[in-house]
Structures are given as C-alpha cells and as structure tokens.
Structure 1
Amino acid sequence: MKNFANSLFHCLILVAFVITSATAQQSTLTVPVIEDGQAQAIEEFSNSEEWIRHDLWVETEFDTDGDGELDRMHVAVTRPAQTENGDLKLPVIYETSPYYAGTARPPYDFFWDVKQELGEDPPTRKTGPEIQRRGERPIISNSHISTWVPRGFIVVHSTSPGTGLSDGSPTVGGENEALAPKAVIEWLNGKANGYTTRDGNEQVEAFWTNGNVGMTGTSYNGFLPFAAATTGVDGLKAVIPVAPVTSFYKYYRSNGLVRSPGGYLGEDVDVLYDFIHSGDESKREYNNRTVRDGIMAEGLDRNTGDYNDFWEDRNYLKKMDNYKAATLMAHAFNDWNVMPEHSFEAYKQLKEMGVPAMVYYHQGGHGGEPPHELMNKWFTRYLFEIENGVEELERAWIVREGDDRENPTAYEDYPHPNASPVTFYPTSGAPERGGLSLNQSSNQGTETLVDNYSFTGSALAQAEWTNHRLIYTTPELSDSVHISGQPSVTVTMASNKPAANLTVWVVSLPWNDGRGSQITDNIITRGWADPQNYRSLSDGEPLEPGEFYTVEFDLQPDDQIIPAGQKIGLLIFSSDKEYTLWPQPGTELTIDLDRTSFTLPVVHGADAFSGMN
C-alpha cells in the first residue's frame, strides 16, 4: 500500500508459550509469530483437518419470542487443536449475522409498491414467504476461518435473534440485536452462560480464549459489530465494520423523505424482517404479530417519512456514549445501498470521543474489506496487544481513481485537512443548462421543473433540453479538483402541491457512458429531502402551494479527484426513479436562483478554481 511501509514501525516479535498438544505430547509452540506488525500463519495451526469445530447456545438477557425464557443464541467455534487442554488461550475474531441460515427466495414480490401519492396511505404490502431454514450443525459459517485460524486466532460465528437456531425475533436494528453479540462476548469472558443444547442445562466454558474479541462483517453484518460496541461490553477490543448501517433511519429515509436503499426499490424495515426471519417455525406467528405487524407497522411511517421514536431506537449514532472498541471503518464513496454517511458520521464521533479510529474508503460500490495487511495489523495490535506501531499510521486510507483496492493512498485524516468549503451559485439557463459561479447574483428570478418519475437521474443529467430537471454547470476545469468531505445544498423552492420529492445530484460532465466507464466518471454525490421537513426532521408540515421554502441538507460524503476538462454540475429534480416514491407526474417545483447554492469541500479551497468567474 502506498506510504504504508514507510509509515509502519517494523517489528519482529516472537511470543512463546509452552503447551501440551492435543495428543498429550509435550511441545513448544510460538504464538503469535509477528512480522512487519502482522500475525503470520503458523504451520501447526494450518491443517484444517485438525481444527476443533463445535457449537453451543449462549443465554442472553432478553426474551423477544414471548415464551417466558431468556433467548439463547446459536454459536459456532473453530479453533486450533492445540487449545484443547486449556494451556493455550487465543483471541477471537467474531462475526454474527441474520443471513447464515437462509433468506427469502425469489420472487421478491413482498416489497412496498412505490407508486404512491405523497402523504397518503401506501398500498397494502404483501407479506414475505416462509423461509426454509438451511445449514447443518455445528457449522454456521466458514467465513474468516481459513484466514485467521492459521494465524493464531479463534473464529466464532453466531446467528442473530430469530434466525437459524437462535431464539428470539428479528427486530432489524432493535436493542436485542446489539445485546445478542454482547452476550456472546461476555460468554467468551466468563460472564454469561453457554449451554450444549438450546434448552438444556449442561454448561460450556470458553476455556481456550484470552477474552480479547474482534468483530467484523459487511452491511447488516457490519452493523452488528458497531451495535455491539455501543454497549461498551468488556472484551470487545477491536471492530472492523464494512459498509455498516449505523442508523436505520438513514438507511430507509433521507431528510424526512421515504427513500429506498440503492438496488432495492420498495424495501423498508419490515421487508428486511420478512427477508431474514428464518428462526423457529413455532415462534414465527408470535414474532410476526408482535414485531412486524405491531412495533414496525406502528413506527415505520411511510406516510410522512418523519423521524420518530421507532427510528430513534434504531439510531446507533445516538448510542455511542459507552463505545470504546478500536475501530477501523471501511466503506465506499459510491455505495448507494448503505451510503457513506453512515461510516462518516460514526468516524467523526469516534475521533471526538478519543476512541482509536481509522478509515478505509474505496471508489466502488457496496462492500469491500480493507486490505488484509491493514486488517491484520489492526487485529494484531488490539487482540494480541502487541505494540506494532499502528497508532502512528495515517488515519485515512483512500483508494484513488483507477487504483487497486489493495493499494490505498495514505492521508493524514479524512476529510483531507487542507479541504475547505467552496460555495457555488446557479445562473439561469432552463430548460437547457445554466451556469455555476463563485459569485452570488441578484434579481435572476426563478426557474421551474415538472416532476416525472419516468426519467432516471442519469437520463436527466445527459439531456440537453428538458423541463423535468434544472441543471447548472461550471466552466470546463483547467486543472483537476480534489473534493474531500461532505457537500451540502441550499434550495429555495415552491411547489404547486402540498408535498413533493426533492432530489439533488452533483455530477461530472460530459457524461461518460462508454465501455469501461466507472460510476465515479459521472456521479460525484447526491442527496434527497422532503421540503415539508424544512424546519424539523420529526415534524413535517404541508407546503402552502406557491409559497417559497428554504431547504438545507447534506449530500453524501465523498473523496474524488475530478480531472481537468470536466465540468461540475448541480442537477435538481423531484422524484428519483431508482430511490423515491413515485407520485403521479405533474408536480411543479419553482426554484429561486438567488437563494439557491451548494457547497463543496475542496482541497486548497477556492484556489482550485482560479480563473473561474
């Protein structure tokens, strides 16, 4: 990785333990073996046929399936045979998931119908099919095992509440989904009970671990380590969440607007519940009635999209007071499923709290772990407690355009410390293209667009002439421009109806849709808002037709270098075919140009646009 070798405190550490092997023969084994700050594969641990694999159930502190008994989570362990006599105690890498036991199969006809008038009751949703649970004991998952067990770690997996052989109910971000991994970590530290069976009393002890636990996973599996860390549970020393949901409101809503995650039009929290509910068939009716058709039906509010107590309970950015696990956050700037604001806001808070934190970003889409080298150094530092210099490394690792994901560029931090806000103001041009200026004009008047969900945002960005969007562009860039941070937009607008969608994209033009083009060639960032929530996220109010309102909101964070020869464009339209609800076409949005602007965080600030009027 660029600058990595020069940044790392190189070390070679050998920590020796004398242990008795599984065959009762005396031997000496060196654990861990560290080179260049990383745990190396150990020959004695590398034969998978000698690994010990077993499962158990860990008792939690909650009962969410209504049977009067504390829920137990199904847990699987994979460890070297050399840990069996109890003399060798190793750290744990742990992943938990609601997906391991299977999910709903196609056809996916149980999503919400997005063809809906804003503010009205949505069409009735068809419930999902019964999930056929899959998997055989004692193996829950094989993820991470071949990577980490040879290097001296034990790998643990568990199924989330209400999935697989775990008791309870899925809640899609509810408290039990944070407390479940907390219980497993406490069991690994001798503070919770584990049992050989789901309903028996024969206990199992984790005599083979030193109690240091690291967690990782992607998407929902990335949310769960983050959620576990918010509990402050002792023993959870490090987490590497990849594309994690940190607020389910931000996953399913945007600034008061009902918005689907990219690629899953019509998904909502109850849809995901139906997708993952693979637990005990005898408990499903109670869970459906209590959670899906009770708590979720009352709280998700697809009528207004407002923030409420239901979403507050699923906002883990508000639950970080006890967070202490060292965190390597990983995400993509073009992840339009779990959008980069999730990790961006979490990382910002962790820095303010003084928790050890680092970020890795790439330019692709959903998912994508950090390079193994970086993950290894992180887990080695905090699970083996070896001083390998990881604290002295740069805090941000960003894959530059066209580079391999294994080769990020190191930066002092993210956003770039030299980035400062640059504000642009639109100049008239509808229904063709207007301009963008660094100087605010006056007396420009207004421009109007007509909503029509039939057209995608990419089609609107490329159109030379259309009344379904407004677009404003800079002159052609004479030098490349490095954007780093979170852009924002201010739109002063009027609607001819009491409710309207508002969509804003920042794009790079001319549009590159040829072979081999990347998403970063076209879309810089984007965002959505409900103008009814211009004053309050939790209390939207109908718009007075013809009255102007100023709507201010953040767009998705980004770090991108726009090459010379491109133009930066501000695209404003109403319904986003791929993300928002689809009201009947015809709503008119009128934009006050003098009171509309957007701000980009740019390395070297306005100097990067020298020569631009």
Structure 2
Amino acid sequence: MHPWKALAVPLVAILTVTMSGASPATAVTPAIKIENNATQPVFSRADAVKQTVFVEVAGTDSDDDGQPDRVAMDILRPKETDQGLKVPVIMEASPYYAPGNDVPNHPVDVDENGNPLPTLKSMTDKLASEPFDGYYDNYFLPRGYAIALVENVGSARATGCPSSGDRNETAGPKAAIDWLNGRARGFDADGNEVSATWSTGKVGMIGVSYNGTLPNAVASTGVEGLKTIVPIAAISSWYDYYRANGGVLAPGGFQGEDLDVLAKFVLTRDKGFEVCGAKMDALTANQDRVTGDYSPLWDARNYVNDVNKVKASVFLVHGLNDWNVKSKQFAQWWYALAKRNVPRKIWLHQGTHMNPFSLRTAEWLRQLHGWFDYWLQGIDSGIMREPQADVEIGVGEWQQHASWPLPGATTVSLHPASGERLGLLPRPLSAKESFVDQSTRTAEQLVETAGADPNRLAYRTGELPADVRISGTPTVSVRASFKDGASPYLTALLVDYGTDVRPDGTLLSTGQTYCYGEGVPGDTGCTTLRRLGTATTPYKIVSRGWLDVRNRHRADRTEPLRPGKEYTFTWDFQPKDYLFKKGHRLGLVIISTDHDYTLRYPAGTRVTVSPGHSSLRLPVVFGRLA
C-alpha cells in the first residue's frame, strides 16, 4: 500500500467532520444502544453501507493456477461504522449464491458386482440463495451488527475449485474471519487492498444445510475471532451424508447424488469446468460408489475429528424429520461437543430440512437475538440461564429440558420372536425366518402391508399400556445369513403402528403476517407465519438404520460373507426424540434394499434371520413397553 493511500481516508474523515461544524476533538463516536439487556434497533437498514471484498485464502490454491484462492464477501454494515462505530459480524458462507448447474445424479440400479445400470436423474432442484434475501439484515443490522455473505471457493465470483467439504472449502470462510481480524488480505473490485477497520473481530456464523455445514467446518479449525456458530440442518461428517456403515447411501430426496455431483452443482465460478474439470474427475474416481468404505477422502471431511479445536459456542438446530441431512449429523456433533463441555444450546423440531425461522418465528428471533447479543456483544442477555434444549415433541408442542438426550434415559431391550412378536423377554428357541430382497417396493410399501410379506420381516409389540418416550440413538442386532444374491444391505426400520395426526413434511401459511425488522425496497422486513402441515396416517417410520454387511466389523474394511453362514450384525438407527402413544404398537421391520436410499442390486438375495438371537435397544425416558 502506498503511503498517500494510507493517509487518504483519515484526511477525508477530518475534512468531513470539520465542514459539518464539529471539531475532531468533540466528535462523538456512535454507540450501540442497550436496553433490558438487549441491543435495540437504532441503526438504519436503508442507509447501510454495502461493501464487497475479495479475500485472499492464503496457503490454498485449489485450482492450481499459482495464485491463492479468493472468496467474495458482500457486507452490509451500519453507516455509523464509517464514523468510528465498531460492530461484530453475522456471517453466512455458501456455495449457493449463484444458480447451480444441471448435473446428472449417479445410477442407483446396479448389477450383481455393483456396476451401475444406465439410468440418470438430473440434480436441478437444490435452489440458489439470493444475497441479503433473509432476515439477518432487517433484524440484526439495526441492532448494531454487520452482515457478511461469503461466496465460497469455486462458486460465483470466487476462485478455486469446490470439493464438497474438504479443507479448501473450510479455508474460504476462515480467511474471511481472518480478514475481519486483520490477519488476511482483502481487495475491492479495483484491486485496492482494504481493511476491516470497523470490525470488532467477533464473528458468528449461521446457515442452513450446506450453509450450516460450513460453520461446523470452520469452528473445527479453532480460528480466533469465531465466537459462536449456529449450524442448522448441518453436516458434521460427509461420510454419514453419502454413506452409512460401509454402504452407499443417498440423502433423502436426492437418490444417486454424491460428493462429485454436489461439487459440480456448485461449480459456478468463471470458466468453472474448464479450470476445475480434472478436480471433478478425481472426486468421481476417489469417492468409491462400489464398496462404500470409509477412506482418507472421507476422513478429511469429518469435522468431529477436530472437535477438540472448537473454541466457538454452538447453537444447534435440526429437524427430527429431516431425511436429507439425517439426525446422526447433529447428534454425533452434539455428543462430541458435550464431552468437551463446549457452551451449547439445541433446538429439535418436527419439521424436515428447514429453517426454524419458518416454524416458530418470534421465539426463534428472541432466542437467537439473545444468543448473538451474549456471544458477540458481551451482553448478559440471560440466554445462558435458559434450559439448554428446546424439543418439539408433537406438532406445535414445545418442551424445554436441561439437556439432550433427555436426562434419565435408560436402555431397554426388546426381542423379536417368530409370529411377528416383539417383547421384553428373549425367545432363543424362536424359529428362523426368511425374506427375499427386491428393489422396486419402497420401505413405506413394505411397512404398510399387514401380516406376512415375502420381502420383509416385521415384529410388533402388543398395544402399549402407556406413552413411551425415547431420546437418543436406538441400536439393533440381527443374527442372519445371506445367500442367492448380491445385495449387501441390512436395513432396519423403527415403526410406530397406530393411527394418529402426524407432520407430513409440508409448511402451510397461517394467513398471518409478522414484521420483524426494517423494510427496504424489495424486502419488506415481514414474513407470512407458517405452521407444519399434518395428515392422519396409520403408521410412521420413526427411524432407519443401514448396514453393508460386508462392513460388519469396520466401516473402512470390506469383508465378504460366506453364503449361508450366520453372522451377528449390529448397527445404529438415526437418533431420535419420539413419543410412542398409549395403545400404539412399536415395530421393528427388517429389509435389505431401501429403495429411496441404498443402491438397488438385482432382486433375489435371500436373508434368513434368527429372531431369538436378535434384539432392539431403545433409549427410553419414560413409559412401559409391556
């Protein structure tokens, strides 16, 4: 930087103050207003300063052009920051700020060797985000926060290549935080180096889905200045997004998607495929859709490995009915944070893959406001004295608890027996039972049929004598043999049999409008309040668990089975918090191929189960199962 450029800004500031009739000695720096232990909306959203900075990601050259990658960061901050006010930053990093590419998903119908059969589905329905289209700027900027939206590597105006969760993607937002703390270089559109003189250096990251995953990733680096993260519907380990216990698995609604598909989807930078094509090809080659084994590629994308580096507090949010980013993602991160005594809070709702702002708007803003005020402004807002866990146990029925899983949960074992029975007593002499795998019927179709079915085994309790609440991670052990086919999967379904009104995955308008912040042209600062849609159904698949039986010992090692030989297989379900109601029946259904999630091998694999040597273990908080 040339000396005359360094002097230019303070000289202009002095001239401006003098010409306005005030002397530099008496000019008052604007201040954030605090009342009732909360920041107040005193700064104008309409007059906010918009700034774009291209931040150098030092030490990262993921497109191999000999230059450090750069990420683009759009910033909105109160105009008073040009008059000496220093503010913290709420940051949302994303690869979605530009519309995604049309990318074919992988075939999921495979032959007996796991080689794909020719069917393709295009990945086009993950939507791009629009800058400043959310609520952060309307609500938080007037209260003394800057908002920063980071276009991550390989997307939009950034350089570099995307990698679906590898370290170069973590480095992008981390560099933005470094710039806000004076540790990285940033440039304007003309190439002039700029500094964040208005920043306190305190940053909170927030986002949903991929945008929520990046906060987990960056927090796992221990970067100084990142004071808190709010990961919503976020990934903590990419292996558990695209694989499960050695098996290839799809995120719900995106059968056939994988690391390479997502990376190509967000590769929206200039000349993206020309620059990054070889990187995409390498991702396709190395992700291994045949064995599904855990490998160094996946280990580099496992943020739980580095939980010991986390310095930021964590406000975690997840939908208990989210089958895109499944609940294991939040639970394993939450358990690891708990072991480290990281300051934390959790919201679990009955929705799917969604933002809590859409579900419980006023209360969400109250708690999030208190959280950011505490961690970024240093205000004793009282949020840390509130219960740690908010859990929506039924639609619109919220409860607060001291922690999660709920205190007092104990493991209760249930034992299947021939005749579709499931009870507290083991029945080791129960006759063996078999089913034949198929690849066309969904899990829902297999669950809803009454009585025996050639393509699954089902076990049910009697009518429950009382409500039963589970909270945590169920597990299952199955003694079984395989022959006459190629499917390597065992899929367990935990089922609630009983007619009830249940969330159906939709959001419905209430017809009410809620105004939460200052509006500007094109953005009213208001939203239509919504509620979860419901439907009356005879059953619900509460949780699922998948295992590639060739990985019965370890996720990183494939071991072939001997046809017809019995093995004991043990694996986990997706963690849940669920209430089985009095009079319902609790069920365990065993299948092989899960049509909407696993690879689909040719039909015909015969699975023989010894129910008397199998069990289901549930984390029960209260209630009687018999």
Q: Any residues of structure 2 matched to 1:112-127 within 5 Å, and which?
A: 112-117=106-111, 119-123=113-117
Q: In the alignment, which of 587, 596, 601 is matched to residue 619 of structure 2?
A: 601
Distance 1:510 1:265 in 2: 29
Q: Aligned partners of 1:597, 1:70: CA distance in 2, in Å? A: 54
Between the aligned partners of 1:453 and 1:22, the Cα distance in structure 2 is 78
Paired residues for 1:529-568 under 5 Å: 529-568=547-586
Structure 1 CA distance for aligned equivalents of residues 601 and 274 of structure 2: 34
Aligned pairs (5 A) from 1:206-605: 206-281=196-271, 283-289=272-278, 291-294=279-282, 296-369=283-356, 371-403=364-396, 408-429=398-419, 434-464=420-450, 465-496=452-483, 497=485, 499-510=487-498, 516-517=534-535, 522-604=540-622
Offset at 1:368?
Answer: 2.5
Unmatched tracts of structure 2, length 5 or more: 1-16, 358-363, 505-533
- Deviation at 1:517? 2.1
Gaps of 5+ in 1: 1-19
Instruction: Verify the 8 A CA contact 1:101 1:278 in the aligned structure 2.
Output: yes
Kindly indicate whether the alpha-carbon contact (under 8 Å) linking 2:77 and 2:146 is maintained by their aligned counterparts in 1: yes
SS at the partner of 2:141?
helix
Kindly report structure 1 stretches of 4+ aligned residues shifted beyond 6 Å: 20-25, 124-131
Q: 1:445 to 1:196 in 2, by over 3 A?
A: same
Contact 2:245 2:551 in 1 (8 A): yes
Please name the residue that 1:79 is paired with.
77
Q: Does the CA-based 8 Å contact 1:247-1:314 persist in structure 2? A: yes
Identity fraction in percent:
33
Task: Write out per-residue CA displacement over residues 256-309 of structure 1, whole angstroms, 9 at most, x where no aligned residue.
Answer: 11110000011111111121110111x5323121x2111x12321111111111
Aligned to 1:15: none
Say how many residue pairs are matched: 566
Q: CA deviation at 1:30?
A: 4.5
Distance 2:565 2:378 in 1: 61
Distance 1:99 1:113 in 2: 25
Tell me what 2:101 maps to: 104
Whether contact under 8 Å (1:505, 1:572) holds in the other structure is yes
- Distance, in Å, in 1 between the alignment partners of 2:274 and 2:545 is 38
- Measure how far apart 1:146 and its partner are: 1.2
Matching residue of 2:4: none
After superposition, the CA RMSD in angstroms is 2.6
- Distance (Å, rounded) in 1 between the aligned partners of 2:64 and 2:119: 25
> Within 5 Å, which residues of 2 pair with 1:57-206?
57-61=54-58, 62-85=60-83, 87-105=84-102, 110-117=104-111, 119-123=113-117, 140-143=131-134, 144-197=136-189, 200=191, 202-206=192-196
1:256–1:304 contact (8 Å) kept in structure 2: yes
- Measure, in 2, the Cα distance between the counterparts of 1:603 and 1:562: 11
**Offset at residue 499 of structure 1 (A):** 4.2
SS in 2 for 1:570: strand
CA distance in 2, matches of 1:23, 1:146: 30
Q: What is residue 10 of structure 2 aligned with on the other side? A: none
SS in 2 for 1:609: coil
Q: Given the two structures, how large is their TM-score scaled by the length of structure 1?
A: 0.88
TM-score (normalizing by structure 2): 0.86
Are 1:40 and 2:47 matched, yes or no? no
1:393 deviates by 2.1
Pairwise CA distance, 1:27: 6.1
Residues 128 and 275 in structure 1, CA contact (< 8 A), matched pair in contact too: no
Name the SS for the 1:510 alignment partner: strand
Amino acid at match of 1:550: T
Task: Name the structure with the higher strand share.
Answer: 2
* Cα gap change, 1:166 to 1:24, in 2 (>3 Å): farther
CA distance in 2, matches of 1:609, 1:307: 39
Cα distance between partner residues in 1 of 2:372 and 2:123: 40
Deviates more, 1:23-32 or 1:385-394: 23-32
Q: 1:31 to 1:21 in 2, by over 3 A?
A: farther
* Deviation of the 1:21 alpha carbon: 13
Decide whether the 8 Å contact of 1:101 with 1:140 is kept in 2: no
Give the aligned residue type for 1:79. R
Partner SS, residue 445 of structure 2: helix
- Find the counterpart in structure 1 of residue 511 from structure 2: none
- Cα offset for 1:331? 0.3
Aligned residue in 2 for 1:4: none
Kindly indicate whether the alpha-carbon contact (under 8 Å) linking 1:186 and 1:192 is maintained by their aligned counterparts in 2. yes
Q: CA deviation at 1:182?
A: 0.7
Q: CA 1:118 to 1:31, structure 2 compared with 1: closer, same or farther past 3 Å?
A: farther
Asked whether the equivalents of residues 75 and 158 of structure 1 are also in contact (C-alpha less than 8 Å), the reply is: yes
How far residue 394 of structure 1 moved from its aligned partner, in angstroms, is 1.6
Give the aligned partner of residue 3 of structure 1: none
- Tell me the distance in 2 between the aligned counterparts of 1:587 and 1:196: 61
Three-state SS of the structure 2 residue aligned to 1:156 is strand
Q: Assess if the C-alpha contact under 8 Å between 1:507 and 1:568 holds in 2.
A: yes
- Whole-angstrom CA distance in 2 between matches of 1:488 and 1:519: 25
Q: In the superposition, relative to structure 1, how do residues 129 and 382 fare at CA in structure 2: closer, same or farther (>3 Å)?
A: closer
